[in-house]
Amino acid sequence: MRRLDGKVAVITGGASGIGEATVRLFADEGCRVVVADVLDERGRRLVDGIGKSAVYVQTDVSKEAQVRAAIEHAVEHFGRLDCIFNNAGLPGVTGPIEKISVKGYDRTMAILLRGVFLGMKHAAPIMKRQGSGSIVSTASVAGLQAGYGPHVYSAAKAAVIQLTRSVAMELGESGVRVNCICPGAIATPIFGRGLGLAESAIEESVKRLQPIFETRQPIKRAGMPEDIAQAALWLASEDSRFVTGHALVVDGGLTGGRMWSVVQEQAAIMRAFLTHDT
């Protein structure tokens, strides 16, 4: 039996990157999926390739009516809602704090935090009536430690982690689990889109990121969208039925501390310095 047989999920940002990998994995595991995104061409092409178990709904997660509509479509089309993966994202506004515009701040928070809040808000009553469900959101290691993302992005992801914990304490009493995933350095199209690259250049940008990312953590390869999809699958499935309010770090050891090789190199430098004149 497949791990999501009979289940229905809404995946925001589902047309590319982590979302696309998760859509494909969930479908392979027997789930019926609503792909919610603003990338219409990619989204429709994705669901066409999957078949009748997937549908596409244009969804800007910053707009409440569109998030509500995507969730309602899942119930109307497939009969229920077992999981929502609040995954839609963007790098957001960047730069030193004194240069950040209020418009950029508002847009970043609208996608990264309001979008998660709206997904939780409109999934909750459906799942509470069912007495079951799994809400999963994409946070980030940038929400756990400073220096892994721009200021506003990092603040939004920290808020997602705390919102996850808080809502988990409410919905757990109704049989609904609420968790989030904190990816590390994952090679996805989000970086190319954040730089304003054309769609034709984005896939190449992902390939160029991989050798950079593979040096950043003890596990010597770049994180890939499929790594996060596997974490989302676990949290959506009954395998994690006793897990709620959790921020699952999937980062290849990035936030674990200084790598052993770096520690040894620095120790050798220190020994050489201290014994130079003896």
Residue 3 lies in a domain: no
Residue 269 lies in a domain: yes
Residue 21 lies in a domain: yes
Active site residue 105: no
Question: Can you list the residues of the chain whose pLDDT is less than 50?
Answer: none
Residue 74 lies in a domain: yes
pLDDT value at position 185?
Answer: 87
What CATH number does residue 14 fall under? 3.40.50.720
Q: What is the pTM of this model?
A: 0.91
Residue 1 lies in a domain: no
Give the active site residue among 56, 105, 148, 153.
153
Question: 153 lies in which domain range?
Answer: 8-274
CA–CA separation, 8 and 70 (whole Å):
12
pLDDT value at position 258?
Answer: 81
Q: Which residue has the tokens 């999934």?
A: 123
**How many domains does one find in the chain?**
1
pLDDT value at position 278?
Answer: 52
Residue 2 lies in a domain: no
Q: What are the CA-CA distances from residue 82 to residues 75, 96, 132, 133 (Å)?
A: 10, 41, 7, 5
For 145-199, the pLDDT digits (tens) are 999 999 999 999 999 999 999 999 999 999 999 999 999 988 877 665 555 555 6
- Residue 267: CB partners within 8 Å, gap ≥ 6? none
